[in-house]
Amino acid sequence: MAQDQQRINGFSKFSKEQRRQWLAEQFLEDGAAGTLAKFDFSDEEVQRVFDGFSENTVANFPLPYGVAPNFVVNGRTYVVPMVTEESSVVAAASAAAKYWMTRGGFKTEIVATEKLGQLHFRWSGSPERRSALLSELCTRVSAQTKELTARMESRGGGVRGITWKHLPEVADDCYQLLVKFGTADSMGANFINTVLEAYGQELRRWATTSPSLRESERDLEVIMAILSNHTPNCIVRAWVSCPIADMALPVNGVDPHDFARRFRYAVEIARQDPYRAVTHNKGIMNGIDAVVIATGNDFRAVEAAAHAFAAQDGTYRSLSRCRIEHDHFHFELSLPLALGTVGGLTKLHPLAKLSLDCLGQPSAPELMSVIAAAGLAQNFAAVRSLVTTGIQKGHMKMHLQNILTEFAATPKEREATVAHFADRTVSYAGVRTFLETVRT
């Protein structure tokens, strides 16, 4: 039916009810508009806030909001909010947090908090002239943005440096101002982009009015100004460590030394094999994204930065490392995390605000530490399962409830099915067969 429809004009001006009705009539079945409406909040004020987050909204798309207790990070105990739809993520993070709680907890180090922005432009001058002109250019753009940066500077942020780069691989006349920023407790995207666009305006004026420029150097065209989500200088490191003798596992027959050996071996595979590294890092991001979303931060930017960081030496590798020294187990994670605890969704989204309250209203560096610990916990839990019981045993037991929901199982059927699969491997076909038996 969709192929027969004409282009629609003015869709964004429709009311939400009109958009739902049009969508249902043109592409869905009878009753679809009612289904979409079921997911609206009863609180009209809250719903207006959510409708303002995006465009052409027709419904909310709920995701489970859970918490993982027992996270000890740098000696402080947290309950960590997590938003995810994937079975076993919160359970795995909680189990790993509890395990390390009695073994010293998670330690973290903020390596750097610098963020980057780029202003790309065409210029008719020669690359050799950059060093002679940069000082004047920096003075002019800084003066032009003084009012924009004053508030951020009062909070400890601001512009940290400007580099003028030549990009001959793009074109002989292609240049870039690479600008370093500190953004205090805000993620800083709007601040960075606003400053960069002001730089672009001043760059055009500089090209036409500066007495330092030769006539042959006045041809300048600004191409674009935008922050970079590649943040190799906004890094947090998290780690756990304890004597191998203290690493008893609640798995029958698993020797701590053998477990540590197999664990290190598995992590080293992910360091060297990109096929394994992608899945390994996806597991890390299961934990990281869940907290990033819960706190109203940009999980897409965090994902992009993390994967770029994983490939920084030209080969995609594990973000985590493991080593064994003098009968001690060491497991650590380093990755970029550009986060904010003020501004944006952190204040607008009611649950994002609640998440930050739950964490004690952390600073941006403290939030970096908590989220890195969550990623390391998730990674530890996944690799521990892989080298002992296998990943599917725990995952499918968590997924069992989703399968039962799909089959519309009654409470009694759920109870019977869980008991039946207590010592059996869970599979979709197996659950279906068992339910058919129970029902007949």
pLDDT tens digits for range 38-95: 999 999 999 999 999 999 999 999 999 999 999 999 999 999 999 999 989 999 999 9
CB 340 within 8 A of CB 48: no
List, for the chain, all residue ranges whose pLDDT scores fall below the cut of 70: 1-6, 251-253, 390-398
Is 63 part of any domain? no
Please report which residue ranges of 126-181 form alpha helices under DSSP H: 130-144, 146-154
In this structure, are 162 and 206 located in the same domain?
yes
Please indicate, yes or no, if residue 58 is contained in any of the structural domains: no
**291: Cβ contacts below 8 Å, ≥ 6 apart:** 80, 81, 82, 370, 371, 374
Do both 103 and 244 map to the same domain?
yes
- Are 129 and 252 in a shared domain? no
Mark which of 203, 228, 253 sits at the end of a domain.
228
Indicate whether 106 belongs to any domain: yes
- Tell which of 177, 207, 228 closes a domain: 228
Tokens of 210: 């500066």
Domain annotation covers residue 188: yes
Q: Tell me which of 86, 202, 268, 303 is the catalytic residue.
A: 86
DSSP state of 337: -
**Do 413 and 401 belong to one domain?**
yes
Residue 408: exposure state from Cβ atoms within 10 A (0-12, 13-18, ≥19): exposed
Contact call for residues 61 and 36 (beta carbons, < 8 A): no
Same domain assignment for residues 153 and 135 = yes
86 in active site: yes
Q: Per the domain annotation, does 308 fall within a domain?
A: yes
The DSSP symbol for 383 reads H
- What is the 8-class DSSP label of residue 363? -
**How far lies 179's CA from each of 115, 117, 195, 356, in Å?**
8, 5, 10, 30
Domain closes at, from 355, 370, 389: 389
Beta bridge partners of 329: 242, 324
Strand order in the sheet with 174-182: 158-166, 174-182, 115-123, 220-228
The reply to whether 57 falls in a domain is no
- The whole domain housing 405 covers 395-439
Q: Which residues have CB under 8 Å from 62's CB, separation 6+?
A: 39
Instruction: Confirm whether 166 is a catalytic residue.
Output: no
User: How far is the C-alpha of 205 from the C-alpha of 185, rounded, in Å?
Assistant: 33
Does the active-site annotation cover 395?
Answer: yes
Overall domain count for the chain: 4
Q: Which residue has the tokens 């947290």?
A: 78
- Give yes or no: residues 335 and 425 share one domain: no
Q: Cα 254 to chain center, whole Å?
A: 34
pTM of the model: 0.88
> Is 163 domain-assigned?
yes
Q: Cβ(185)–Cβ(224) under 8 Å?
A: no
Residue of 280, 395, 397, 399 marked active site: 395
**Residue 418 pLDDT:** 86
What pLDDT score does 1 carry?
45
Same domain, 146 and 273: no
Same domain, 122 and 216: yes
282 assigned to active site:
yes
The DSSP result for 185-242, as a single string, is TB--HHHHHHHHHHHHHHHHHHHHH-TTS-GGG--EEEEEEEEES--TTSEEEEEEEE
Cα–Cα distance for residue pair 361/63, rounded to 1 Å: 23
| Together in a domain, 212 and 237 | no
The pLDDT, as a whole number, for residue 392 is 57
Whether the CB-CB separation of 37 and 60 falls below 8 Å is answered with: no
Cα–Cα distances in Å, from 267 out to 8, 263, 280, 326, 327?
Answer: 52, 6, 8, 19, 17
**Same domain assignment for residues 77 and 157:** no
Largest distance between two CA atoms of the chain: 92
Does 345 lie in the same domain as 372? yes
Residues 242 and 350 in one domain: yes
Q: So what's the pLDDT on residue 429?
A: 87
End-to-end CA distance of the chain: 40
Q: Which of 165, 257, 282, 393 is catalytic?
A: 282
Measure the CA–CA gap between 235 and 337, rounded to whole angstroms.
6
The residue count for the chain: 440
Among 289, 298, 332, 366, the active-site one is 298
